[in-house]
C-alpha cells in the first residue's frame, strides 16, 4: 500500500472490500469435496471468480466502520421534509423477526402460512378503515410504485369505458417529481397547474385546463408546501363531473392519519408510504412499502394478488382469470409485497390504536408549527398561517448574505443534523422544508431551533465560512450532480490498491 490512510478522531477512513481484500485470503476454510461428481457439464468452472476474501476480523471492521458513517434517525434528528423520518419502534423489529413472518417463502402452500396471510388481511382492513376506501393493493414496493399502480388502475378503468382518448393528467407545479414521471411513463400527457400565492392549487387555472381529453388529476394533500388543499372537495367534484379520476399522493398522510379520511375528500386512489406514516425504516435503513387504496369506482381494477377471508381460511387470488380479478389490470410485481414492512406497520398501528394514531398526526402538526413560530422572526416562511406537519421556508432571509440555501444546509451538518429538504418544492425560491415529526421531544426540537438561530446569526457575521461547510465530515462538498448522473457502480480491477 502506497499511501497512508487518514483517520479522524476514532472514525476510520475505509477502503473498498476489493482494496483491502485479497484473492487468496479467506475467512472460512471449506474442505475439498470428496467423491462428488459434478452434473453441470460445460458450465462447470473452478477458476478464481475474482471476489476478494477477508479474514473475519477484517470483514467485521469493514462493515462496522461503514455503519458508523451512516447517519440515521437512531443517531439524531433527521428533519428531512416530505420524508417523515420518525422513530422506528423496536417492538416492530422484534415482531418482524418472528419466524412465522421472517422465515416464510412466497411460494409455500397457503395452508402453511395462514398467519402471515391473516396479517396482510388485517393491515389491509386497518388501511381501508383509516382512509375510508373500499379496496387495496398491498404489493407496491414504495410510494413511486404505488403511484404507478394507482394510475394503471385509472388507465384500465378508462379503457373499460372505451375512453382511451382521455390522455391528460393534471399535476400541480408543486408536485413531487414522481407524479408527472408516473403519468408520463404510462403515456399520459402531463399538464401543469399553477399554484396560488398562498401555496395552494389555483382552482381557476385548474378548471381552465379541463377538456374532453381530461383523464385524471394527481394531487398531494397536504401538499408539498405543507399546506392543506382546502378546496379538495370542490376539486374532486369538478374532476368527477368531468369524467375524470382523482389520484392523491398520500406521502403526507402523517398529517391526517386518524383525523380525516381521504375517502371523504372524494379521492379515487391513493398510495400510503408505510415507511413514512407507519414508521417502517427507510432512507438506507430498509425497503419501502406503498400500498394503494381505491374507491368503489376503481376497486375492480386493482391488481393481483388479493388476499381474502373465505370462511375461516385466508386465500390468495392471483390468477387474472379468477372471477375476482376479471377487470384487474393484472400483476404489478412478483409475489405479495414487503412482508417485513407489513409486520412492522401493523405492530405500529396496533400499539398506537385508533386514538394513538390521531395523536400522531396532531403532534406532528404541533411540532412543525412550533418550529415555524419559533423561527419565523429570523428566517422567512414561504407562506403565512399555520402549516400541517412540515414547515416551508424560502431563502429571503439569506438575501443580503453570500450564503445560499445549499451552503446553509451543508453548515447544518457540522452542527450534527441531517439537513432539511432543500430546493423542493420547486415553486419556492431556495426552499428549505423542515419536518420534525411527532417523535422528536420538545428538548430536541428546542435544540434544533437554537442551532438554526445560531446559524442564521452566523450568515450575517461570518458568511464566508458557509462556503466551505461541512468541515467535520469524512468527505466534504461532493459533486452531487456528477455522482447522480455518472455513478461509478462497478469496481474495475485496475483500481486495486492493495493486492495480495
Ligand atoms: C416520498 C414521496 C413520494 C415517493 O415515495 P417513495 O416511497 O419514496 O417512492 C412521492 N411523493 C411525495 C410527496 C413524497 O414525499
Whether residue 274 has pLDDT greater than 50: yes
Asked if residues 419 and 409 have their Cβ atoms less than 8 Å apart, the reply is yes
* Mean pLDDT on 196-206: 97
Cα(371)–Cα(420) distance, integer angstroms: 13
Please tell me the predicted confidence (pLDDT) of residue 493. 67
Whether residue 425 has pLDDT greater than 90: yes
Which ligand 1 atom minimizes the distance to the CA of 224? 13
Q: pTM score, two decimals? A: 0.92
User: What rounded mean pLDDT belongs to the chain?
Assistant: 94
Written as nine digits, the cell of 335 is: 409475489
Please tell me the predicted confidence (pLDDT) of residue 334. 87
DSSP code string of 217-238 = EEEESS-TTS---TTHHHHHHH
For ligand 1, atom 5: residue with the closest CA: 143
Least confident of 42-46, 146-150, 468-472: 42-46
pLDDT class of 170 with cuts at 50, 70, 90: very high
Dist. CA 154 → ligand 1 center (Å): 19
Mapped onto helix, strand or coil, the DSSP state of residue 203 is helix
Please tell me the predicted confidence (pLDDT) of residue 115. 97
Secondary structure of the chain: what % helix, strand, coil (to 5)?
Answer: 40, 10, 50
- Each residue's pLDDT tens digit, 9-22: 888 889 888 888 88
Q: How many Å is the Cα radius of gyration of the chain?
A: 26
Any ligand 1 atom below 6 A from CB of 289: no
Any ligand 1 atom below 6 A from CB of 268: no
Dist. CA 458 → ligand 1 center (Å): 33
Q: Domain 90-348 carries which CATH code? A: 3.40.640.10
Any ligand 1 atom below 6 A from CB of 182: no
Mapped onto helix, strand or coil, the DSSP state of residue 101 is helix
**Most confident residue range from 24-38, 245-259, 278-292:** 245-259
Dist. CA 144 → ligand 1 center (Å): 6
Cα(272)–Cα(253) distance, integer angstroms: 7
3-state secondary structure 27-64: CCCCCCCCCCCCCCHHHCCCCCCCCCECCHHHHHHHHH
Asked if residues 456 and 468 have their Cβ atoms less than 8 Å apart, the reply is no
Q: What does each C-alpha distance from 139 to 61, 117, 132, 181, 293 come to in angstroms?
A: 37, 13, 19, 20, 11
Q: Which residues, other chains included, contact 312 with Cβ-Cβ below 8 Å and sequence gap of 6+?
A: none
Ranges of each domain in the chain: 90-348, 354-485
pLDDT class of 284 with cuts at 50, 70, 90: low
Please list the residues that pair with 190 across neighbouring strands. Answer: 169
Candidates 249, 255, 283: which one to mutate for ligand 1, based on the most atoms within 8 Å of Cβ?
A: 249
Please tell me the predicted confidence (pLDDT) of residue 499. 41
Cα(483)–Cα(492) distance, integer angstroms: 17
Any ligand 1 atom below 6 A from CB of 405: no
- Each residue's pLDDT tens digit, 66-78: 988 888 999 999 9
Least confident of 19-28, 113-122, 233-242, 400-409: 19-28
Any ligand 1 atom below 6 A from CB of 292: no
Dist. CA 273 → ligand 1 center (Å): 7
Owner of C-alpha cell 414521471:
181
Asked if residues 425 and 194 have their Cβ atoms less than 8 Å apart, the reply is no
Q: Domain 354-485 carries which CATH code? A: 3.90.1150.10
Cα(175)–Cα(144) distance, integer angstroms: 13
Dist. CA 108 → ligand 1 center (Å): 32
Candidates 83, 150, 151, 178: which one to mutate for ligand 1, based on the most atoms within 8 Å of Cβ?
A: 178
Please tell me the predicted confidence (pLDDT) of residue 226. 98
Q: For residue 230, which phi and psi values (nearest 5 degrees)?
A: -65, -25
Amino acid at each position: 500500500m502506497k499511501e497512508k490512510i487518514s483517520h479522524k478522531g476514532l472514525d476510520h477512513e475505509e477502503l473498498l472490500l476489493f482494496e483491502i481484500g485479497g484473492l487468496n485470503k479467506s475467512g472460512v476454510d471449506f474442505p475439498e469435496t470428496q467423491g462428488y461428481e459434478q452434473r453441470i457439464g460445460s458450465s462447470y468452472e473452478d477458476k478464481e471468480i475474482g471476489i476478494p476474501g477477508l479474514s473475519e476480523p477484517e470483514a467485521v471492521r469493514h462493515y462496522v466502520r461503514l455503519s458508523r458513517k451512516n447517519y440515521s434517525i437512531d443517531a439524531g434528528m433527521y428533519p428531512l421534509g416530505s420524508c417523515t423520518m420518525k422513530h422506528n419502534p423496536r417492538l416492530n423489529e422484534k415482531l418482524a423477526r418472528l419466524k412465522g413472518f421472517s422465515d416464510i417463502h412466497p411460494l409455500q402452500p397457503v395452508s402453511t402460512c395462514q398467519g402471515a396471510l391473516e396479517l396482510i388481511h388485517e393491515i389491509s382492513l386497518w388501511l381501508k378503515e383509516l382512509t375510508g376506501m373500499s379496496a387495496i393493493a398491498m404489493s407496491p414496493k414504495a410510494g413511486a410504485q404505488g403511484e404507478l399502480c394507482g394510475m394503471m388502475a385509472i388507465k384500465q378503468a378508462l379503457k373499460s369505458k372505451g375512453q382511451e382518448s382521455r390522455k391528460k393528467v393534471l399535476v400541480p407545479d408543486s408536485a413531487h417529481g414522481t407524479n408527472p414521471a408516473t403519468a408520463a411513463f404510462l403515456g399520459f400527457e402531463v399538464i401543469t397547474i399553477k399554484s396560488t400565492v398562498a401555496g395552494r392549487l389555483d382552482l381557476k387555472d385548474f378548471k381552465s385546463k379541463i377538456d374532453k381529453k381530461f383523464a385524471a388529476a394527481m394531487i398531494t394533500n397536504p401538499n408539498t408546501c405543507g399546506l392543506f388543499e382546502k378546496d379538495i372537495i370542490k376539486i374532486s367534484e369538478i374532476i368527477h363531473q368531468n369524467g375524470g379520476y382523482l389520484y392523491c399522493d398520500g406521502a403526507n398522510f402523517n398529517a391526517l392519519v386518524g383525523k380525516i379520511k381521504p375517502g371523504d375528500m372524494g379521492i379515487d386512489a391513493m398510495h400510503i408510504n408505510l415507511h413514512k406514516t407507519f414508521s417502517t425504516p427507510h432512507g438506507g435503513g430498509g425497503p419501502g412499502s406503498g400500498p394503494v387504496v381505491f374507491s368503489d369506482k376503481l376497486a375492480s381494477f386493482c391488481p393481483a394478488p388479493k388476499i381474502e377471508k373465505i370462511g375461516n381460511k385466508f386465500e390468495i387470488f392471483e390468477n387474472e382469470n379468477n372471477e375476482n380479478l376479471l377487470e384487474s389490470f393484472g400483476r404489478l410485481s412478483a409475489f405479495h409485497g414487503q412482508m417485513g414492512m407489513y409486520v412492522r406497520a401493523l405492530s405500529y398501528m396496533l400499539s398506537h390504536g385508533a386514538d394513538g394514531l390521531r395523536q400522531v398526526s396532531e403532534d406532528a402538526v404541533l411540532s412543525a408549527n412550533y418550529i415555524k413560530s419559533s423561527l419565523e422572526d429570523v428566517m422567512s416562511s414561504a407562506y403565512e398561517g399555520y402549516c400541517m406537519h412540515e414547515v416551508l421556508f424560502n431563502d429571503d432571509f439569506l438575501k443580503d448574505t453570500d450564503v445560499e440555501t445549499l451552503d446553509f444546509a451543508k453548515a447544518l451538518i457540522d452542527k450534527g443534523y441531517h439537513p432539511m429538504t432543500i430546493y423542493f418544492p420547486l415553486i419556492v425560491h431556495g426552499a428549505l422544508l423542515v419536518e420534525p415529526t411527532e417523535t422528536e421531544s420538545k428538548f430536541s426540537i428546542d435544540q434544533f431551533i437554537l442551532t438554526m438561530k445560531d446559524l442564521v446569526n452566523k450568515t450575517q457575521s461570518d458568511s464566508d465560512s458557509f462556503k466551505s461547510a461541512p468541515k467535520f465530515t469524512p468527505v466534504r462538498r461532493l459533486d452531487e450532480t456528477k455522482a447522480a448522473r455518472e455513478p461509478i457502480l462497478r469496481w474495475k480491477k485496475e483500481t486495486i490498491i492493495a493486492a495480495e
